[in-house]
C-alpha cells in the first residue's frame, strides 16, 4: 500500500507540472489549451535527443528543454491564440486542438511514429522508506516538482510581471484599464506554461523509459482533470488535484491492473465536470461563465448552389461505377461516403444545434462494435444488424451524453472528448465482449438477402444509397419544427427556454439522431475493414471529421459531405499527401477558422 501511495505522489508531481500550466493559461486567456500536451511531448523528445544523441547530463538537459518548450509555447500563442482574439472561447479551444494536432503529426514525421527507449542519464539508486522504495529518479521528480512550485509562487507573489499575471487572471478588462499589457502577460504565461509542460514530458519519459509522438493527448486530459479537480485558475488547487489524480490512478493500477489507469482518469474528469465543475475546493455554484447566445462559429456568407446541381451530382455519383472500373478508386469513394455519413451526424450537433462534440469517433465505435458482435458472435444477418446496431449506438450515446447536456461551451467540448475516449477505453478493457486490444476480426462483408457484396462497385452503391438517405433525412429535419427548435437552442438558449423549448430534451434528441447516423456509418466501416480494434477510433479521427464539417460548412448537409469527399479523396489522389494527412487537417482547421469559419458552403443565417 505504501508503495502505491509513494508512486501516486511521484506521478502526481508529474501531472502537477502540466496542470499548473493549463490552469495558468485558463486564468489568463480563458481557454483550455489542448496544445499543451503537444508541448509536453516535444519537451520529452528534446530531452530524449539531448540524453541519447548528445549524451548530456540531467541539468543541461533540463535547461535545454525549458528553453525549447518556452519558445514553442510562444509560437502556439502567436499562431493559435492571438489571431483569434475575440472569436470566443470555443473557437480558441478548437485552434489549440488544431495546433496540437499539427505538432503531433510533425513529431511523427521528424522522429517517426514508433516508441523510443529513454534511459535515465544517472545511476538508479533505490532507498527503502518504510515498506516501500524511493528511487533516485523519484527523488529528482519530487525535487523538480517542489522547486518549480516554489519558484512559481515566488514569481506570482514577488515579481511585477507576476502581479500582472494575477491581475489579468482575476479580471482581464480591469487589468487592461489599469495599464497592464495583457498581450505581454499572455506571452509570458504561454512561455512559462510551455516550459512546465516540456519539463513534465521529459520527466515522464524518464519515468516510463519511453517517448512517443502521441503521448501528448493523454497528458492534456490528465492535466486538465487535475486542474479541474482543484478548480480552473487555482494554482494551489491544481497541485492538490494532481496529487489526488496520481494517487487514484496508482491505486487503480494496483487493484485492477494497468489498463484501468486511463479509464480511472476519464471517470474522474467526467465526474468532476458533471458534479463539481468549479473544482472540489470551491463553493458549490453555477458553472463558470460560458456563452449562451449564438453558435460557437460566427455567421458567414453562404455560397449559392443552383437547385439542379444537387440532383445532377447524385445522378453522376450513382452512374460512376458504370464508367470507372478501377476497384481501388471505388473503394476510396465508398470510404468517402461513409465519412460523409459521419460528417452529417456531427453537423447535426455542431451546425444545427450549435453544440460542439470532439469525441464523435466514440459514436462510430458503438455502431461498429455492435454490428461486429451481432454478426460474428450471434450470426445475425447484415441487414438485421444494419437496422439494430445504429439503434444501440443511439441509445447508449444518449444515456452517456444526457448528464453532460447541461454543460456549455468548452466544458461540453471536453466532456465529449472524455466520453469518446471512455468508449474506446471500455472497448479496450471489456475483453469478454470486445476481445480488448486483440479486436474483432473476420467480420463478414455486407450482404443483402443472402448475397454477399464483395465487389467494389456493389459496396460503393450500398454506401452511396445510405448516404443519399442520410442527406434526405437531414434535409427534411432541417426544415421541420425540430430543426427550427435546434437552431433556436443554438442561437440563444435563454430565449429558447423562454419560448418553451426544453434545452436538455432537444439536445438529447440531437445527440440521439447524431449517434444513430454515426452508428450507421460505424456498421459500414466495420464491414468494410473486416477488422476493428479500440485504436481504430482515435481522437484524431474525431478531429478529422470536425475538419470535414468546418471545411464544408456548418449547418450545411451537402457541405459536410463535400468536406468528407475532399479530405478523403484528395490525399489519395496525391499520394505524397497521405503521409501528411493529419498535418494537413490541423493546418486546414486553423486556416478555415481564421478566414472562413463558417466553411466553404456555409448555410444562411
CA distances from 487 to 61, 293, 379, 453, 492 (A): 53, 11, 42, 40, 9
Residue 2: pLDDT band (50, 70, 90) is low
Residue-level pLDDT at 509? 92
Sign of CA dihedral 272, 197, 260, 103: positive
Helices 89-111 and 58-76, interaxial angle, to 10°?
130
Given a cut of 70, whether residue 130 has pLDDT beyond it is: no
Report the candidate in 371, 505, 542, 393 with the shortest Cα–Cα distance to residue 440: 371
Tens of pLDDT along 484-543?
999 898 888 888 888 888 888 889 999 999 999 999 999 999 999 999 999 999 888 998
Residues 6+ apart with CB under 8 A from 128: none
Q: Which string of b and e fits 135-159 if b means at least 16 CB within 10 Å?
A: bebbebbbebbeebbeebeeebeee
Query: Each residue of 135-165: pLDDT tens digit?
Result: 888 888 888 888 888 888 888 888 888 888 8
CA–CA separation, 346 vs 356, rounded Å? 8
Across 3-16, average pLDDT: 82
Which residue has better confidence, 598 or 467?
467
CA-nearest of 481, 547, 472, 452 to 517 is 472
Q: Is the pLDDT of residue 1 over 70?
A: no
Q: Dump pLDDT digits (tens) for 225-281.
A: 998 888 877 888 888 889 899 888 888 887 877 778 888 889 888 888 888 888 877
- State how far the Cα of 282 lies from the Cα of 326, in Å rounded to an integer: 62
Question: Mind listing the pLDDT tens digit for each residue in 68-98?
Answer: 999 999 999 999 988 887 777 778 888 898 9
Over range 293-301, report the average pLDDT.
53
Amino acid at each position: 500500500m505504501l508503495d502505491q501511495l509513494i508512486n501516486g505522489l511521484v506521478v502526481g508531481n508529474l501531472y502537477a507540472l502540466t496542470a499548473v500550466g493549463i490552469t495558468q493559461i485558463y486564468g489568463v486567456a480563458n481557454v483550455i489549451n489542448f496544445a499543451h500536451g503537444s508541448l509536453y511531448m516535444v519537451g520529452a523528445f528534446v530531452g530524449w535527443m539531448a540524453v541519447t544523441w548528445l549524451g548530456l547530463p540531467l541539468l543541461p538537459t533540463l535547461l535545454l528543454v525549458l528553453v525549447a518548450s518556452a519558445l514553442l509555447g510562444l509560437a502556439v500563442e502567436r499562431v493559435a491564440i492571438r489571431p483569434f482574439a475575440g472569436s470566443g472561447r470555443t473557437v480558441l479551444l478548437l485552434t489549440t486542438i488544431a495546433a496540437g494536432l499539427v505538432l503531433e503529426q510533425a513529431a511523427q514525421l521528424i522522429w517517426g511514429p514508433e516508441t523510443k527507449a529513454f534511459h535515465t542519464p544517472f545511476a538508479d539508486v533505490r532507498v527503502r522508506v518504510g515498506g516501500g522504495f524511493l528511487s533516485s529518479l523519484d527523488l529528482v521528480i519530487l525535487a523538480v516538482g517542489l522547486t518549480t512550485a516554489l519558484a512559481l509562487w515566488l514569481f506570482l507573489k514577488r515579481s511585477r510581471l507576476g502581479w500582472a499575471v494575477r491581475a489579468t487572471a482575476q479580471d482581464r478588462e480591469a487589468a487592461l484599464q489599469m495599464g497592464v499589457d495583457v498581450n505581454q502577460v499572455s506571452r509570458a504565461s504561454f512561455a512559462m506554461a510551455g516550459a512546465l509542460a516540456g519539463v513534465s514530458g521529459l520527466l515522464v519519459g524518464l519515468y516510463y523509459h519511453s517517448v512517443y509522438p502521441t503521448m501528448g493527448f493523454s497528458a492534456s486530459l490528465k492535466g486538465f482533470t487535475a486542474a479541474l479537480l482543484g478548480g480552473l485558475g487555482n494554482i494551489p488547487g491544481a497541485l492538490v488535484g494532481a496529487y489526488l489524480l496520481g494517487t487514484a490512478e496508482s491505486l487503480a493500477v494496483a487493484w485492477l491492473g494497468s489498463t484501468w489507469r486511463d479509464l480511472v482518469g476519464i471517470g474522474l474528469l467526467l465526474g468532476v465536470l458533471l458534479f463539481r465543475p468549479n473544482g472540489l475546493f470551491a463553493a458549490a455554484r453555477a458553472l463558470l461563465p460560458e456563452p449562451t447566445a449564438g453558435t460557437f462559429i460566427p455567421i458567414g456568407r453562404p455560397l449559392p448552389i443552383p437547385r439542379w446541381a444537387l440532383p445532377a451530382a447524385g445522378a453522376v455519383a450513382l452512374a460512376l461505377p458504370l464508367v470507372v472500373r478501377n476497384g481501388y478508386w471505388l473503394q476510396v469513394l465508398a470510404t468517402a461516403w461513409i465519412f460523409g455519413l459521419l460528417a452529417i451526424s456531427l453537423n447535426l450537433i455542431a451546425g444545427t444545434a450549435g453544440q460542439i462534440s470532439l469525441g464523435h469517433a466514440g459514436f462510430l465505435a458503438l455502431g461498429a462494435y455492435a454490428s461486429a458482435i451481432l454478426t460474428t458472435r450471434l450470426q445475425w444477418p447484415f441487414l438485421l444488424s444494419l437496422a439494430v446496431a445504429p439503434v444501440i449506438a443511439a441509445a447508449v450515446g444518449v444515456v452517456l451524453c444526457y448528464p453532460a447536456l447541461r454543460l456549455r461551451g468548452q466544458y461540453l467540448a471536453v466532456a465529449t472528448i472524455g466520453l469518446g475516449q471512455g468508449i474506446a477505453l471500455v472497448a479496450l478493457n471489456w475483453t469478454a465482449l470486445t476481445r480488448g486490444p486483440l479486436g474483432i476480426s473476420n467480420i463478414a462483408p455486407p450482404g443483402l438477402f443472402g448475397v454477399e457484396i464483395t465487389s467494389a462497385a456493389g459496396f460503393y452503391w450500398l454506401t452511396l444509397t445510405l448516404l443519399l438517405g442520410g442527406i434526405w433525412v437531414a434535409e427534411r429535419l432541417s426544415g421541420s419544427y425540430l430543426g427550427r427548435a435546434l437552431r433556436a437552442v443554438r442561437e440563444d438558449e435563454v430565449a429558447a427556454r423562454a419560448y418553451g423549448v426544453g434545452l436538455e430534451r432537444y439536445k438529447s434528441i440531437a445527440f440521439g439522431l447524431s449517434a444513430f447516423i454515426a452508428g450507421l456509418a460505424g456498421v459500414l466501416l466495420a464491414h468494410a475493414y473486416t477488422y476493428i480494434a479500440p485504436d481504430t477510433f482515435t481522437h484524431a479521427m474525431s478531429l478529422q471529421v470536425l475538419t470535414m464539417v468546418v471545411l464544408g460548412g456548418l449547418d450545411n448537409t451537402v457541405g459536410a459531405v463535400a468536406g468528407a469527399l475532399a479530405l478523403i479523396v484528395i490525399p489519395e489522389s496525391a499520394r505524397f499527401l497521405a503521409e501528411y494527412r493529419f498535418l494537413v487537417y490541423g493546418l486546414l482547421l486553423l486556416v478555415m477558422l481564421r478566414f472562413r469559419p463558417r466553411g466553404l458552403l456555409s448555410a444562411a443565417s
